[in-house]
Amino acid sequence: MNLKKIINKLTTRVSEKLARHKFFTLSNAFYKIALIFATPSNKYLHQAEGYINQGRYKDAALIYKKAISLQPTLSTVYYFGSNLAKKGNLNDEFYTSILDVIETPEIRLMIDYLSKSPAIFQPSKMWLYFMIFNTFQIEAGGIENFKRTVNHNYFNWTGDSDVMAQFDALKNKLNWSDSDIVNAETFVNFETAKKPIEFTEEKWKSYVQYLCMLWEFAVKNDRLELLKHLEEPLLGNPLAIQYKGRKVTQDICNSVIDVNTIMEFISYNSCPNSHLADYQRTNQSLAAKRFIHLLFAEIFATSEHR
């Protein structure tokens, strides 16, 4: 950890402790020192935390949204937001203030309805956090970019530890050497594979290599040959690369791996008649393909309706 981060962390802690004891003038002084050594997005998060400590919940909600809007995939938001959710609930002063900050009428209506529901129907601490975080991500990046924001919270892994754990597992499963990975990169069209702003060059290189291996693993295990018929929808601006002439994303690969795994445990060998078994096997493959087509069609239909 560099000196700036250490100073930022220490002065933030001092500011928080002073605020808890209602020494607001001193708290603000230390907070201003902390902000000097913070990144722009983190400055807003620190400011939001300071407002919460002072009971200025509406200001905290506005600044929290601003931090997410400035950098929708900011990793430190996870720490800040999850801590808020652990301490709070849908009807406390902070989350009530959040409702006033949300711009999307449909989402405001849903959250308002939830807040008036019995506790058993209200979101858990985890989903309280994600509900607000995802809302601000969509409002910041738009539904047209949800695969670059909200999607990263679920099945499109971008965190270094998540990607590298799968990177190593795939390399082992494929029995690839470092030279195999380098060779795979030669099949990537880097003119179309543009590095996201928040990625370093090193992180983007590892991510591209990871997608190459994930695609090869998916193809190798695609007994139903779904990848011959499916393409990643452009809806949501997916984080993709062009590899061997195909648009490759985590979503398309993982979906195909999942369907093949599920269908593997649906037996069709119990049919006494071999022709009937062939018929059932064919129907099984078509059913899996149809399932994915319908799923994507439903996503598009929902988007167009909105």
Going through the chain in order, the beta strands assigned E by DSSP cover: 241-243, 246-248
Which is more confidently placed, 213 or 300? 213
What's the whole-model pTM score? 0.70
Give residue 78's pLDDT.
Answer: 64
Give residue 56's pLDDT.
Answer: 86
Beta bridge partners of 242: 247
Contacts 24+ apart (CB under 8 A), 73-79: 73/148, 73/149, 73/152, 73/158, 73/198, 74/41, 74/42, 74/45, 75/159, 76/41, 76/42, 76/45, 77/41, 77/45, 77/133
Give residue 188's pLDDT.
Answer: 95
Dist CA 152 CA 162 (whole Å): 11
For the CA atoms of the chain, what is the radius of gyration?
A: 24
Give residue 66's pLDDT.
Answer: 85
Dist CA 251 CA 294 (whole Å): 16
Average pLDDT over residues 140-161: 85
- What is the percentage of the chain residues whose pLDDT exceeds 90? 25
Dist CA 25 CA 201 (whole Å): 43
pLDDT digits (tens, 9 = 90+) for 222-272: 999 999 888 898 899 999 999 999 999 999 999 999 989 988 887 655 545
pLDDT digits (tens, 9 = 90+) for 89-137: 888 888 888 888 999 999 899 988 988 999 888 888 888 888 888 898 8
Q: Tally Cβ neighbours within 10 Å of residue 164.
A: 14
Encoded amino acid at 304, one letter = E
Packed helices 250-264 and 201-220: angle between N→C axes, nearest 10 degrees = 30
Rounded to the nearest integer, the mean pLDDT of the chain is: 80
Query: Which residue ranges make up each domain of the chain?
Result: 39-141, 160-305
End-to-end C-alpha distance for the chain, whole angstroms: 45
Q: What tokens appear for 174 in the block?
A: 């494929």
Give residue 44's pLDDT.
Answer: 80
pLDDT digits (tens, 9 = 90+) for 163-186: 888 999 999 999 999 999 999 999
Beta bridge partners of 241: 248
Give residue 123's pLDDT.
Answer: 87
List C-alpha distances in Å: 102 to 70, 99, 259: 16, 5, 37
